[in-house]
Structure 1
Amino acid sequence: MHWLYLAIAVAFETTVAIAAGKAEGFKNRKWTAITLLSGAAATFFLSKALLTFEVGVGYALWTSVAGVGITVIGALFFAQRLNLHKLIGIALVIGGVVGLQLSGSA
């Protein structure tokens, strides 16, 4: 169940990043509300996942998977460019996540 909680937390954290970009410095009320509500939901589900994961490992997984997701979504839907350096960075993050999982801490 902790993996499901972590996946939900990642989805909400990805929503936070997209909504914050559209909130125009919190001037747009709709996107500001989405940002804040998604952030609260992301934190809630992360806290549920951290009942099983070690805090450092769970937080690292949450932020890194969300970061990769946000980067990919930006490239697919918001015309943000992926260059070789970004792709190498994504590969390194994924390698780090795999390494954390293989450490047997969750």
Structure 2
Amino acid sequence: MSWLYLGIAVIFEIAVGIFASKAQGFTKLGWTLGTLASGAVGTLFLGLALLTFDVGVGYAIWTSVSGVGIVLVGALFLNQRLTWKKTVGIAVVIGGVVGLQLSGAA
């Protein structure tokens, strides 16, 4: 169940990134409220996941997978450029997450 909670937390953290970019410095009320609400829900589910995960491992997976997700959403839906350097960075992050999982800490 902790992986499900972590997955939900990741989805809401990706939403935070998207909403915050649309909030234009928090001058757009709807996007600002979406940012805050998504952040709260994502943090709630992260907290539930951390009941099982080691805090360092769970938090690292949450932030890493969310970061990769935001980059991919930006490239696929927001006309942001996915360069070879970003692609290498994504591969390194995925390798790190796999390494954390293989450490047996979760």
Could you tell me which amino acid in structure 2 is paired with residue 70 of structure 1?
I
Question: 1:43 aligns to what?
Answer: 43
User: Under a length normalisation based on structure 2, what TM-score does the superposition of the two structures give?
Assistant: 0.99
Task: Give SS of 1:51's match.
Answer: coil
Question: 2:76 aligns to what?
Answer: 76
Q: 1:2-21 residue pairs with structure 2 within 5 A?
A: 2-21=2-21
Structure 1: any 5+ residue segments left out of the alignment? Answer: none
Question: 1:31 aligns to what?
Answer: 31
Name the CA distance, whole Å, in 2 between partners of 1:105 and 1:47.
17
Percent of counterpart pairs with the same letter?
66
Q: 1:94-105 residue pairs with structure 2 within 5 A?
A: 94-105=94-105
Task: Give SS of 1:25's match.
Answer: coil
Could you tell me which amino acid in structure 1 is paired with residue 76 of structure 2?
L
Q: CA deviation at 1:4?
A: 0.2
Question: 2:65 aligns to what?
Answer: 65
Aligned length: 106
User: Under a length normalisation based on structure 1, what TM-score does the superposition of the two structures give?
Assistant: 0.99
Runs of 4+ aligned residues of structure 1 deviating over 6 Å after TM superposition are none
Name the CA distance, whole Å, in 1 between partners of 2:78 and 2:40.
25
Name the CA distance, whole Å, in 2 between partners of 1:93 and 1:36.
26
Q: Deviations over 1:54-85 (max 9, x none)?
A: 00000000000000000000000011111111
